[in-house]
Structure 1
Amino acid sequence: MNVLVIAEPSALQQAVCHWFEARERAFRLVAPADILGLGRADVYNTVVLDLATLEGLQRGNELSLSGESRHHLIELLEASASPFIFLSDGRVFDGDYAPINHRETDNVQPGSVAGARLSAVEHLLERHIERRVILRTGPVFSNQPDNFFVRFFQRLLDGGDIALNSQLKTCPTHVADLARVISGVIDQVACGANNWGAYHYNSSSPTSAYEFAEVMFAFASQQLDLDQKATSLVVQESALRIEPAVPVLRCEKILHDFGIKQLPWRSYLPQPIKLLCEKQNP
């Protein structure tokens, strides 16, 4: 079964396509702006994967798909009965009870603009698309710009005291780990798995900005002379935190239904840090 990937150029899109290529799965990339040009033949016998919505809402508060484009896509999916994989995140739970470890069965209660927009799309899909997987994740990071990981690294390079929040916990998830999970879900859906509804996946080990930066500092110090810059991490609760602030998600259901295990975010840090360090020492 082919895959239609709705995405702008990004680290996540590249990681997902890398997994498809490694598994010799045919796929086609479509930009959000081109959805209105799709017809029923484009989605027939195809898994449709929306990366663009999550990517846009993790960078800011704007939806990448217009209302007209989203409704056109839903009409095509209804007519073709093709499976739909939609990426969301834990901000659908970021209301009064956040942050706690949320299960898929917990009531959605967004407390932010991004959470409300994700929740609205989820409800729309629940009403119209029977064969759907809503995959909620944590704050996604990579070594490309526009995410907290690169901003933290730049602060390490700047040196001096770096004030970081140590209380707010989340589960940062590297694009390669999330791509692994997406590919695994699609493999099983393409083979006839009848597991539909909401699922959670974020990398294991909840962490704060301070703890995450400590690990980054340790890896980066092996390749750069950060002592020369007098870099020091300082706890300050009103300071830097991991963005977006996504509540921790429990991930037992995806293990039970798809056999997909959580992997620790720490295991994904060495390679992107090495790449960033190499840019400083060409």
Structure 2
Amino acid sequence: MKVLIIALDHQIRNALEAQLDIRGREYESVGLEWIKHEGPVDVQNPPLRIPNDISVVVNALSLECLEQHLADEELIESLALVAQACEQAAIPILQLSNSQVFDGTEGGRYRETDEVVPVSRIGALLSRMEELLRGSCHRHIILRTGPLFSAVGDNLVTLLLAEFQQGETLRLCNGASSCPMHAQDLARVVSAIIDQLSCGCESWGTYHYCSSDPANEYQFAETVLAVASQYTQSSEHPLKLEPNESSESDWPRPLMNCEKILHTFGIKQLPWRAFVVPTVKTIFQPESTEDKTDEQ
């Protein structure tokens, strides 16, 4: 089963490619430029076509392009073309979304059957994408996730370390929680779903996956700081962190119940803390990671 990855050259794409390499699975990676269709759609100029050797499509643009501030309608039109192409070719598509489709006011953990009530532009756009996919492509899986981090690009850890290294005291919210997850963990989950699709599983629909341990912004930063302190000269740039009661933070995300993905695909949640040490080490000592990869 060959996989078509639609993503930017960013943390999700890198993690997916690395995981598929480990699994020995063939893949092809394309970006937004692959989707753009020029001219009117007719018999001579048909819409997007999936290559004949592709068996499943993984679309990460729904998450990555939000960070690039592309026009909402451009993202919607792009997904419509991909969904139409997958439906015509009877090829399943795995679409990445996240918990921002919920408003978080109910507390607790949201299930896949709970009503979608977005309160932000991103949440509303993700909700529109989900509905578009449900209405245009029968063989689909929508995977809602938590906020991501890795050693690549701008994310929860790299931006936090950049602030730490400026030597200023960070005051972070110690109120509402989120379930951050490593891009490698997301790739593991996507790969596991693909493995079961390749075995004939047809459990289409919406699924939730996030890390197993919620944390507020201060707790997450405290964990990252403890690891980062091993690689910095504290005398030159002391790393300081203080809790803040302010609710003005982008950190909180609605928590999700992940029982369905466990019962359907046997995918267990992993703690985000297990990924912090190798992530921070890669950022501060990238050469050691490369040497280890070469040895393997």
What amino acid is aligned across from residue 267 of structure 1 in structure 2? A
1:43 CA drift (Å): 5.7
Please state whether the residue corresponding to 1:246 is helix, strand or coil.
coil
Unpaired segments ≥5 residues, structure 2: 38-46, 287-296
- The yes-or-no answer on 1:176 pairing with 2:176 is no
- Correspondence for 2:275: 268
- The yes-or-no answer on 1:6 pairing with 2:6 is yes
For residue 110 of structure 1, the aligned residue among 105, 118, 126 is 118
Q: 2 CA distance for matches of 1:82 and 1:224?
A: 49
Q: 2 CA distance for matches of 1:256 and 1:164?
A: 36
Q: Which 4+ residue blocks in structure 1 deviate beyond 6 angstroms?
A: none
Please state whether the residue corresponding to 2:224 is helix, strand or coil.
helix
- The yes-or-no answer on 1:155 pairing with 2:166 is no
Q: 1 CA distance for matches of 2:52 and 2:112?
A: 28
For residue 230 of structure 1, the aligned residue among 226, 233, 238 is 238
Please state whether the residue corresponding to 1:167 is helix, strand or coil.
coil
RMSD of equivalent CA atoms: 2.4
Moved more, 177-186 or 228-237: 228-237
Q: TM-score, normalised by structure 1?
A: 0.90
Q: Deviations over 1:96-124 (max 9, x none)?
A: x2654111111111000000000001011
- Correspondence for 2:225: 217
Change (3 A) 1:206 1:227: farther
- Correspondence for 1:136: 144
Please state whether the residue corresponding to 1:158 is helix, strand or coil.
coil
- Correspondence for 1:81: 90
- Correspondence for 1:54: 63
Change (3 A) 1:152 1:169: same
Question: Does the 8 Å contact 1:32/1:65 carry over to 2?
Answer: no
What amino acid is aligned across from residue 172 of structure 1 in structure 2? P
What amino acid is aligned across from residue 266 of structure 2 in structure 1? G
1:187 CA drift (Å): 0.8
Unpaired segments ≥5 residues, structure 1: none
Q: TM-score, normalised by structure 2?
A: 0.86
Q: 2 CA distance for matches of 1:275 and 1:241?
A: 27
Q: 2 CA distance for matches of 1:189 and 1:161?
A: 48
- Correspondence for 2:294: none
- Correspondence for 1:22: 22
What amino acid is aligned across from residue 94 of structure 2 in structure 1? I
Identity rate, percent: 38
Q: 1 CA distance for matches of 2:249 and 2:235?
A: 23
